[in-house]
Structure 1
Amino acid sequence: MTGKISVVGLGPGNPDQITPEALKAVAEARLFFGYGPYLDRLSLRPDQQRVASDNREELDRSRAALQAAAAGEKVCVVSGGDPGVFAMAAAVCEAIEDGPEPWRHLELEVVPGVTAMLAVAARMGAPLGHDFCAISLSDNLKPWTLIEQRLRAVAGAGLVIALYNPISRARPWQLGTAFAILREVLPWSTPVIFGRAAGRPDEMLRLVTLADADASTADMATCVIIGSPETRVIERPGRTPIVYSPRSAGGPR
Protein backbone atom coordinates (compact mmCIF):
# COMPACT_ATOMS: atom_id res chain seq x y z
CA MET A 1 0.00 0.00 0.00
CA THR A 2 1.29 3.47 -0.88
CA GLY A 3 0.58 6.56 1.09
CA LYS A 4 -0.18 10.12 0.14
CA ILE A 5 1.92 13.27 0.25
CA SER A 6 0.32 16.70 0.57
CA VAL A 7 2.34 19.90 0.26
CA VAL A 8 0.42 22.53 2.18
CA GLY A 9 0.71 26.31 2.36
CA LEU A 10 -0.18 27.85 5.73
CA GLY A 11 -0.25 31.45 4.52
CA PRO A 12 1.77 34.35 5.96
CA GLY A 13 1.07 33.53 9.61
CA ASN A 14 -2.41 34.84 10.41
CA PRO A 15 -4.55 31.78 11.32
CA ASP A 16 -7.54 33.39 9.57
CA GLN A 17 -5.61 33.19 6.29
CA ILE A 18 -5.21 29.40 6.33
CA THR A 19 -7.60 28.00 3.74
CA PRO A 20 -10.23 25.35 4.56
CA GLU A 21 -8.54 23.08 2.01
CA ALA A 22 -5.25 23.37 3.92
CA LEU A 23 -6.96 22.62 7.24
CA LYS A 24 -8.59 19.54 5.69
CA ALA A 25 -5.21 18.27 4.41
CA VAL A 26 -3.68 18.80 7.87
CA ALA A 27 -6.53 16.91 9.54
CA GLU A 28 -6.07 13.92 7.22
CA ALA A 29 -2.29 13.58 7.58
CA ARG A 30 -0.38 11.69 10.25
CA LEU A 31 3.25 12.64 9.65
CA PHE A 32 4.35 16.27 9.21
CA PHE A 33 7.63 17.48 7.73
CA GLY A 34 8.66 21.13 7.77
CA TYR A 35 10.67 24.01 9.15
CA GLY A 36 10.16 24.13 12.91
CA PRO A 37 8.48 27.59 13.16
CA TYR A 38 5.99 26.60 10.45
CA LEU A 39 5.15 23.35 12.22
CA ASP A 40 4.64 25.35 15.41
CA ARG A 41 1.63 27.01 13.77
CA LEU A 42 -0.22 23.69 13.75
CA SER A 43 -2.31 22.26 16.60
CA LEU A 44 -1.61 18.58 16.07
CA ARG A 45 -3.47 15.68 17.65
CA PRO A 46 -1.68 13.10 19.80
CA ASP A 47 -1.73 10.63 16.89
CA GLN A 48 0.00 13.12 14.58
CA GLN A 49 3.79 13.37 14.53
CA ARG A 50 6.07 16.24 13.47
CA VAL A 51 9.55 15.99 11.94
CA ALA A 52 11.20 19.41 12.10
CA SER A 53 14.28 20.43 10.12
CA ASP A 54 16.27 23.53 9.24
CA ASN A 55 14.82 25.92 6.66
CA ARG A 56 17.74 25.25 4.28
CA GLU A 57 17.18 21.48 4.09
CA GLU A 58 14.38 21.46 1.52
CA LEU A 59 15.63 18.54 -0.60
CA ASP A 60 16.52 16.31 2.36
CA ARG A 61 13.12 17.09 3.89
CA SER A 62 11.38 16.25 0.62
CA ARG A 63 13.20 12.92 0.27
CA ALA A 64 12.37 11.93 3.84
CA ALA A 65 8.72 12.82 3.31
CA LEU A 66 8.56 10.85 0.05
CA GLN A 67 10.18 7.82 1.68
CA ALA A 68 7.54 7.92 4.42
CA ALA A 69 4.71 8.24 1.89
CA ALA A 70 6.13 5.34 -0.14
CA ALA A 71 6.02 3.27 3.05
CA GLY A 72 2.27 3.92 3.36
CA GLU A 73 2.13 7.03 5.54
CA LYS A 74 -0.21 9.97 5.01
CA VAL A 75 2.37 12.75 4.87
CA CYS A 76 2.04 16.52 4.99
CA VAL A 77 4.94 18.77 3.95
CA VAL A 78 4.35 22.22 5.42
CA SER A 79 5.26 25.56 3.84
CA GLY A 80 4.66 29.11 4.92
CA GLY A 81 2.79 31.23 2.39
CA ASP A 82 2.07 29.30 -0.79
CA PRO A 83 4.03 26.05 -1.29
CA GLY A 84 4.48 26.76 -4.98
CA VAL A 85 6.08 30.21 -4.57
CA PHE A 86 9.79 29.85 -3.66
CA ALA A 87 8.80 27.03 -1.30
CA MET A 88 8.43 23.29 -0.80
CA ALA A 89 6.31 22.17 -3.76
CA ALA A 90 9.17 22.65 -6.24
CA ALA A 91 11.59 20.84 -3.92
CA VAL A 92 9.23 17.86 -3.66
CA CYS A 93 8.81 17.77 -7.45
CA GLU A 94 12.58 17.93 -7.90
CA ALA A 95 13.04 15.03 -5.46
CA ILE A 96 10.42 12.99 -7.33
CA GLU A 97 12.10 13.61 -10.69
CA ASP A 98 15.53 12.54 -9.38
CA GLY A 99 14.25 9.81 -7.06
CA PRO A 100 13.30 6.14 -7.42
CA GLU A 101 10.48 5.06 -9.71
CA PRO A 102 7.96 4.27 -6.89
CA TRP A 103 7.89 7.96 -5.89
CA ARG A 104 6.34 8.80 -9.26
CA HIS A 105 3.33 6.63 -8.43
CA LEU A 106 2.50 8.36 -5.15
CA GLU A 107 -0.62 10.45 -4.79
CA LEU A 108 0.65 14.04 -4.70
CA GLU A 109 -1.51 16.97 -3.61
CA VAL A 110 -0.33 20.61 -3.61
CA VAL A 111 -2.59 22.82 -1.49
CA PRO A 112 -2.23 26.54 -2.24
CA GLY A 113 -1.91 29.23 0.39
CA VAL A 114 -1.79 33.02 0.63
CA THR A 115 1.73 34.05 -0.35
CA ALA A 116 3.51 37.04 1.20
CA MET A 117 3.13 39.42 -1.74
CA LEU A 118 -0.65 38.92 -1.76
CA ALA A 119 -0.93 39.55 1.97
CA VAL A 120 1.25 42.67 1.81
CA ALA A 121 -0.52 43.98 -1.28
CA ALA A 122 -3.94 43.52 0.31
CA ARG A 123 -2.93 45.58 3.35
CA MET A 124 -1.89 48.49 1.12
CA GLY A 125 -4.60 48.45 -1.54
CA ALA A 126 -3.98 46.94 -4.96
CA PRO A 127 -0.34 47.42 -6.02
CA LEU A 128 -0.56 44.16 -7.98
CA GLY A 129 -3.65 45.37 -9.85
CA HIS A 130 -1.91 45.12 -13.23
CA ASP A 131 0.96 42.99 -14.59
CA PHE A 132 3.53 41.97 -11.98
CA CYS A 133 6.28 39.46 -11.27
CA ALA A 134 8.01 37.89 -8.27
CA ILE A 135 11.79 37.58 -7.97
CA SER A 136 13.84 36.01 -5.20
CA LEU A 137 17.04 37.92 -4.43
CA SER A 138 18.66 34.78 -3.02
CA ASP A 139 21.59 33.65 -5.14
CA ASN A 140 21.87 30.26 -3.43
CA LEU A 141 20.37 28.50 -6.46
CA LYS A 142 21.02 30.99 -9.27
CA PRO A 143 23.83 33.45 -10.08
CA TRP A 144 23.56 37.09 -9.07
CA THR A 145 24.23 38.12 -12.66
CA LEU A 146 20.95 36.45 -13.67
CA ILE A 147 19.09 38.31 -10.90
CA GLU A 148 20.50 41.62 -12.16
CA GLN A 149 19.48 40.75 -15.72
CA ARG A 150 15.93 39.94 -14.66
CA LEU A 151 15.57 43.08 -12.54
CA ARG A 152 16.54 45.30 -15.47
CA ALA A 153 14.28 43.39 -17.86
CA VAL A 154 11.11 43.50 -15.75
CA ALA A 155 11.66 47.11 -14.66
CA GLY A 156 12.11 48.10 -18.30
CA ALA A 157 8.95 46.19 -19.22
CA GLY A 158 6.94 48.17 -16.67
CA LEU A 159 6.06 45.30 -14.33
CA VAL A 160 5.37 45.71 -10.63
CA ILE A 161 8.03 43.67 -8.82
CA ALA A 162 7.66 41.66 -5.62
CA LEU A 163 11.02 40.78 -4.07
CA TYR A 164 11.30 37.70 -1.88
CA ASN A 165 14.32 36.78 0.29
CA PRO A 166 15.59 40.35 -0.01
CA ILE A 167 18.39 40.36 2.54
CA SER A 168 20.13 38.18 5.12
CA ARG A 169 23.27 38.11 7.23
CA ALA A 170 25.01 36.18 4.46
CA ARG A 171 23.70 38.58 1.77
CA PRO A 172 23.63 42.07 3.33
CA TRP A 173 24.34 43.96 0.10
CA GLN A 174 21.98 42.54 -2.48
CA LEU A 175 18.81 44.50 -1.74
CA GLY A 176 20.72 47.79 -1.83
CA THR A 177 22.25 46.77 -5.14
CA ALA A 178 18.80 45.84 -6.46
CA PHE A 179 17.48 49.30 -5.54
CA ALA A 180 20.44 50.91 -7.31
CA ILE A 181 19.70 48.89 -10.46
CA LEU A 182 16.01 49.83 -10.37
CA ARG A 183 16.86 53.52 -9.94
CA GLU A 184 18.66 53.32 -13.29
CA VAL A 185 15.40 52.34 -14.98
CA LEU A 186 12.42 53.52 -12.91
CA PRO A 187 11.35 57.01 -11.80
CA TRP A 188 12.72 57.68 -8.33
CA SER A 189 9.18 58.62 -7.25
CA THR A 190 8.04 55.00 -7.78
CA PRO A 191 6.25 53.67 -4.64
CA VAL A 192 8.06 50.98 -2.66
CA ILE A 193 6.33 48.91 0.05
CA PHE A 194 8.21 47.08 2.78
CA GLY A 195 5.91 44.43 4.25
CA ARG A 196 6.72 42.10 7.11
CA ALA A 197 4.35 39.76 9.01
CA ALA A 198 1.29 41.11 7.17
CA GLY A 199 -1.85 40.37 9.17
CA ARG A 200 0.02 39.30 12.31
CA PRO A 201 0.34 41.21 15.61
CA ASP A 202 3.96 42.12 14.78
CA GLU A 203 3.05 43.47 11.33
CA MET A 204 5.37 46.09 9.84
CA LEU A 205 4.33 48.03 6.74
CA ARG A 206 6.27 50.99 5.36
CA LEU A 207 5.63 53.03 2.22
CA VAL A 208 8.45 55.10 0.70
CA THR A 209 9.61 56.22 -2.73
CA LEU A 210 12.33 54.39 -4.64
CA ALA A 211 14.58 57.37 -3.94
CA ASP A 212 14.22 56.82 -0.18
CA ALA A 213 14.15 53.00 -0.15
CA ASP A 214 16.61 51.85 2.52
CA ALA A 215 17.71 48.22 2.38
CA SER A 216 18.53 48.21 6.10
CA THR A 217 14.80 48.37 6.96
CA ALA A 218 14.24 44.87 5.54
CA ASP A 219 15.11 41.38 6.72
CA MET A 220 14.73 37.88 5.28
CA ALA A 221 11.04 37.78 6.26
CA THR A 222 10.21 41.04 4.47
CA CYS A 223 8.46 41.14 1.11
CA VAL A 224 9.33 44.27 -0.87
CA ILE A 225 6.93 45.47 -3.57
CA ILE A 226 8.23 47.99 -6.11
CA GLY A 227 5.58 49.68 -8.20
CA SER A 228 5.60 50.33 -11.93
CA PRO A 229 5.67 53.82 -13.46
CA GLU A 230 1.83 53.64 -13.50
CA THR A 231 1.45 52.72 -9.81
CA ARG A 232 -0.31 55.45 -7.85
CA VAL A 233 -0.64 56.53 -4.22
CA ILE A 234 -3.90 57.96 -2.88
CA GLU A 235 -3.22 60.05 0.21
CA ARG A 236 -5.92 59.89 2.90
CA PRO A 237 -5.69 62.26 5.88
CA GLY A 238 -5.59 60.26 9.10
CA ARG A 239 -5.57 56.93 7.27
CA THR A 240 -2.99 54.71 5.59
CA PRO A 241 -2.44 55.72 1.96
CA ILE A 242 -3.84 53.46 -0.75
CA VAL A 243 -1.34 52.10 -3.27
CA TYR A 244 -2.71 50.72 -6.51
CA SER A 245 -1.71 49.90 -10.06
CA PRO A 246 -4.43 50.89 -12.53
CA ARG A 247 -6.00 48.14 -14.61
CA SER A 248 -4.77 49.82 -17.80
CA ALA A 249 -1.19 50.67 -18.76
CA GLY A 250 0.30 52.93 -21.41
CA GLY A 251 3.52 51.02 -21.99
CA PRO A 252 7.16 52.15 -21.69
CA ARG A 253 7.78 55.89 -21.55
Structure 2
Amino acid sequence: MNKVGSLYFDGKQFLIGPSACMEHLHFMGDNKAHFGPAFDSIKDFHLHNIANKIRRIKDGEEVELSFLMIADIVHILYPDERRSKGPFFMCHPDAKGDHILIHGDKAWLIDLTGTWFTSAQEAFAAPDALIDVRAFYNGSNELGPAETDFAVTLARLHHPLLAQHVRKDKPFQRLQHLLAGDSLHDPEQWWVGLRALALGVGYAGVNESMSWDEGKSFLRFKFSVEP
Protein backbone atom coordinates (compact mmCIF):
# COMPACT_ATOMS: atom_id res chain seq x y z
CA MET A 1 0.00 0.00 0.00
CA ASN A 2 1.15 3.55 -0.67
CA LYS A 3 -1.16 5.36 1.76
CA VAL A 4 -1.36 5.66 5.53
CA GLY A 5 -4.89 5.14 6.75
CA SER A 6 -7.47 2.78 8.18
CA LEU A 7 -8.72 -0.33 6.49
CA TYR A 8 -12.43 0.14 5.80
CA PHE A 9 -15.13 -1.57 3.76
CA ASP A 10 -17.19 0.55 1.35
CA GLY A 11 -19.81 -2.16 0.81
CA LYS A 12 -17.97 -3.77 -2.08
CA GLN A 13 -14.28 -3.82 -1.28
CA PHE A 14 -11.70 -2.92 1.35
CA LEU A 15 -10.02 0.46 0.85
CA ILE A 16 -7.44 2.69 2.51
CA GLY A 17 -8.76 6.22 2.94
CA PRO A 18 -9.59 8.88 2.08
CA SER A 19 -12.62 7.90 4.17
CA ALA A 20 -10.43 6.49 6.91
CA CYS A 21 -12.08 6.10 10.30
CA MET A 22 -10.20 8.55 12.46
CA GLU A 23 -11.14 6.94 15.77
CA HIS A 24 -8.88 4.03 14.83
CA LEU A 25 -6.09 6.41 13.85
CA HIS A 26 -6.15 8.11 17.26
CA PHE A 27 -7.41 11.39 15.78
CA MET A 28 -10.44 11.58 18.03
CA GLY A 29 -10.96 10.70 21.66
CA ASP A 30 -14.67 9.87 21.52
CA ASN A 31 -16.53 6.88 20.15
CA LYS A 32 -17.99 8.55 17.08
CA ALA A 33 -16.96 7.83 13.52
CA HIS A 34 -14.92 10.63 11.98
CA PHE A 35 -13.64 10.77 8.45
CA GLY A 36 -10.59 12.43 7.02
CA PRO A 37 -7.79 12.02 4.51
CA ALA A 38 -5.35 9.23 3.98
CA PHE A 39 -1.71 10.33 4.04
CA ASP A 40 1.27 9.83 1.76
CA SER A 41 3.75 10.07 4.63
CA ILE A 42 3.76 8.59 8.12
CA LYS A 43 5.48 11.76 9.37
CA ASP A 44 2.65 13.90 7.98
CA PHE A 45 0.14 11.55 9.56
CA HIS A 46 1.67 11.80 13.03
CA LEU A 47 2.20 15.57 12.91
CA HIS A 48 -1.37 16.13 11.72
CA ASN A 49 -2.58 13.84 14.49
CA ILE A 50 -0.60 15.75 17.13
CA ALA A 51 -1.73 19.15 15.83
CA ASN A 52 -5.36 18.00 16.12
CA LYS A 53 -4.76 16.85 19.68
CA ILE A 54 -3.19 20.16 20.68
CA ARG A 55 -6.14 22.07 19.19
CA ARG A 56 -8.56 19.99 21.25
CA ILE A 57 -6.66 20.23 24.52
CA LYS A 58 -8.88 20.45 27.57
CA ASP A 59 -6.35 19.58 30.24
CA GLY A 60 -4.14 22.61 29.73
CA GLU A 61 -0.44 23.22 29.54
CA GLU A 62 0.80 19.78 30.60
CA VAL A 63 -0.83 18.05 27.64
CA GLU A 64 0.37 20.70 25.19
CA LEU A 65 3.96 20.44 26.40
CA SER A 66 3.87 16.66 26.13
CA PHE A 67 2.55 16.64 22.57
CA LEU A 68 4.99 19.36 21.49
CA MET A 69 7.77 17.08 22.70
CA ILE A 70 6.28 14.08 20.90
CA ALA A 71 6.10 16.12 17.67
CA ASP A 72 9.78 16.95 18.11
CA ILE A 73 10.53 13.24 18.53
CA VAL A 74 8.57 12.36 15.37
CA HIS A 75 11.10 14.47 13.45
CA ILE A 76 13.89 12.41 15.05
CA LEU A 77 12.24 9.09 14.26
CA TYR A 78 11.52 10.16 10.68
CA PRO A 79 14.36 12.60 9.90
CA ASP A 80 14.12 12.25 6.13
CA GLU A 81 10.61 12.73 4.79
CA ARG A 82 11.34 10.43 1.87
CA ARG A 83 12.15 7.58 4.24
CA SER A 84 8.72 7.81 5.83
CA LYS A 85 6.84 7.32 2.57
CA GLY A 86 5.40 4.01 1.39
CA PRO A 87 5.10 1.22 0.92
CA PHE A 88 3.08 0.90 4.11
CA PHE A 89 2.16 -2.30 5.88
CA MET A 90 -0.99 -3.62 7.51
CA CYS A 91 -0.89 -3.41 11.29
CA HIS A 92 -3.40 -5.36 13.37
CA PRO A 93 -4.32 -3.34 16.48
CA ASP A 94 -4.54 -6.38 18.76
CA ALA A 95 -2.41 -9.21 17.37
CA LYS A 96 -2.76 -11.85 20.06
CA GLY A 97 -3.47 -15.55 20.21
CA ASP A 98 -7.26 -15.60 19.97
CA HIS A 99 -7.18 -13.38 16.87
CA ILE A 100 -4.92 -15.78 14.96
CA LEU A 101 -6.49 -18.97 13.59
CA ILE A 102 -4.27 -21.76 12.27
CA HIS A 103 -5.39 -24.91 10.48
CA GLY A 104 -2.73 -27.05 8.86
CA ASP A 105 -0.60 -24.80 6.66
CA LYS A 106 -3.20 -22.01 6.56
CA ALA A 107 -3.51 -19.04 8.92
CA TRP A 108 -6.13 -16.32 9.34
CA LEU A 109 -6.29 -13.03 11.22
CA ILE A 110 -9.69 -12.10 12.62
CA ASP A 111 -11.23 -9.08 14.37
CA LEU A 112 -9.74 -6.56 11.97
CA THR A 113 -11.57 -3.57 13.47
CA GLY A 114 -9.04 -0.78 13.77
CA THR A 115 -6.54 -2.34 11.38
CA TRP A 116 -4.50 0.32 9.64
CA PHE A 117 -1.52 0.81 7.35
CA THR A 118 1.68 2.34 8.66
CA SER A 119 5.48 2.28 8.39
CA ALA A 120 7.46 -0.94 8.63
CA GLN A 121 8.99 0.28 11.90
CA GLU A 122 5.59 0.64 13.56
CA ALA A 123 3.94 -2.35 11.91
CA PHE A 124 6.67 -4.86 12.75
CA ALA A 125 7.66 -3.85 16.26
CA ALA A 126 6.66 -6.63 18.63
CA PRO A 127 2.89 -7.00 19.14
CA ASP A 128 1.49 -5.58 22.38
CA ALA A 129 0.63 -9.09 23.54
CA LEU A 130 4.36 -9.81 23.88
CA ILE A 131 5.26 -6.70 25.90
CA ASP A 132 6.55 -7.14 29.43
CA VAL A 133 3.79 -4.87 30.73
CA ARG A 134 5.27 -3.98 34.13
CA ALA A 135 8.71 -3.18 32.73
CA PHE A 136 7.25 -1.24 29.79
CA TYR A 137 5.12 0.99 32.00
CA ASN A 138 8.04 1.47 34.36
CA GLY A 139 9.93 3.04 31.46
CA SER A 140 12.13 0.16 30.30
CA ASN A 141 13.32 0.30 26.70
CA GLU A 142 14.63 -3.26 26.84
CA LEU A 143 12.90 -6.14 25.10
CA GLY A 144 10.90 -8.39 27.38
CA PRO A 145 11.50 -12.17 27.39
CA ALA A 146 8.61 -12.88 25.00
CA GLU A 147 9.76 -10.14 22.60
CA THR A 148 13.29 -11.54 22.65
CA ASP A 149 12.00 -15.05 21.92
CA PHE A 150 9.91 -13.62 19.08
CA ALA A 151 12.95 -11.95 17.49
CA VAL A 152 14.99 -15.16 17.82
CA THR A 153 12.17 -17.18 16.24
CA LEU A 154 11.84 -14.77 13.31
CA ALA A 155 15.58 -14.98 12.67
CA ARG A 156 15.51 -18.78 12.87
CA LEU A 157 12.66 -18.82 10.33
CA HIS A 158 14.79 -16.75 7.94
CA HIS A 159 13.08 -13.39 8.50
CA PRO A 160 16.10 -11.30 9.57
CA LEU A 161 14.52 -7.94 8.68
CA LEU A 162 11.43 -8.68 10.77
CA ALA A 163 13.66 -9.80 13.64
CA GLN A 164 15.58 -6.53 13.35
CA HIS A 165 12.37 -4.51 13.57
CA VAL A 166 11.42 -6.30 16.79
CA ARG A 167 14.86 -5.68 18.30
CA LYS A 168 15.38 -2.08 17.16
CA ASP A 169 11.97 -0.44 16.92
CA LYS A 170 10.91 -0.16 20.56
CA PRO A 171 10.65 3.67 20.24
CA PHE A 172 8.07 3.30 17.46
CA GLN A 173 6.09 0.90 19.62
CA ARG A 174 6.15 3.40 22.50
CA LEU A 175 5.19 6.26 20.18
CA GLN A 176 1.98 4.45 19.26
CA HIS A 177 1.10 4.01 22.93
CA LEU A 178 1.67 7.68 23.71
CA LEU A 179 -0.46 8.79 20.77
CA ALA A 180 -3.37 6.57 21.78
CA GLY A 181 -4.95 9.16 24.09
CA ASP A 182 -5.53 12.87 24.53
CA SER A 183 -5.64 13.32 28.30
CA LEU A 184 -3.06 12.99 31.03
CA HIS A 185 -5.13 11.29 33.71
CA ASP A 186 -1.88 10.56 35.55
CA PRO A 187 0.74 13.07 34.34
CA GLU A 188 3.59 11.51 36.30
CA GLN A 189 2.90 8.05 34.86
CA TRP A 190 2.58 9.57 31.37
CA TRP A 191 5.97 11.23 31.90
CA VAL A 192 7.59 7.85 32.60
CA GLY A 193 6.61 6.69 29.10
CA LEU A 194 7.46 10.00 27.44
CA ARG A 195 10.84 10.14 29.18
CA ALA A 196 11.54 6.56 28.08
CA LEU A 197 10.72 7.48 24.48
CA ALA A 198 13.00 10.52 24.71
CA LEU A 199 15.85 8.41 26.11
CA GLY A 200 15.26 5.79 23.43
CA VAL A 201 15.87 8.31 20.65
CA GLY A 202 18.63 10.27 22.40
CA TYR A 203 16.54 13.40 22.99
CA ALA A 204 18.91 16.13 24.20
CA GLY A 205 18.32 17.47 27.70
CA VAL A 206 16.38 14.51 29.13
CA ASN A 207 17.93 12.10 31.63
CA GLU A 208 16.75 9.00 33.49
CA SER A 209 16.28 10.78 36.82
CA MET A 210 14.34 13.77 35.46
CA SER A 211 11.06 14.15 37.36
CA TRP A 212 7.81 15.35 35.84
CA ASP A 213 8.20 18.77 37.48
CA GLU A 214 11.72 19.05 36.09
CA GLY A 215 10.45 17.84 32.73
CA LYS A 216 7.77 20.53 32.63
CA SER A 217 10.33 23.24 33.39
CA PHE A 218 12.62 21.87 30.69
CA LEU A 219 9.80 21.76 28.12
CA ARG A 220 8.50 25.23 29.00
CA PHE A 221 11.96 26.62 28.34
CA LYS A 222 12.46 24.56 25.17
CA PHE A 223 9.14 25.51 23.60
CA SER A 224 8.87 29.01 25.14
CA VAL A 225 5.59 28.23 26.90
CA GLU A 226 4.65 30.40 29.86
CA PRO A 227 3.42 28.52 32.99
TM-score (norm 1): 0.23
Q: Tell which structure's C-alpha radius of gyration is larger.
A: 1
| Greater strand proportion | 1
TM-score (norm 2): 0.24
| Greater helix proportion | 2
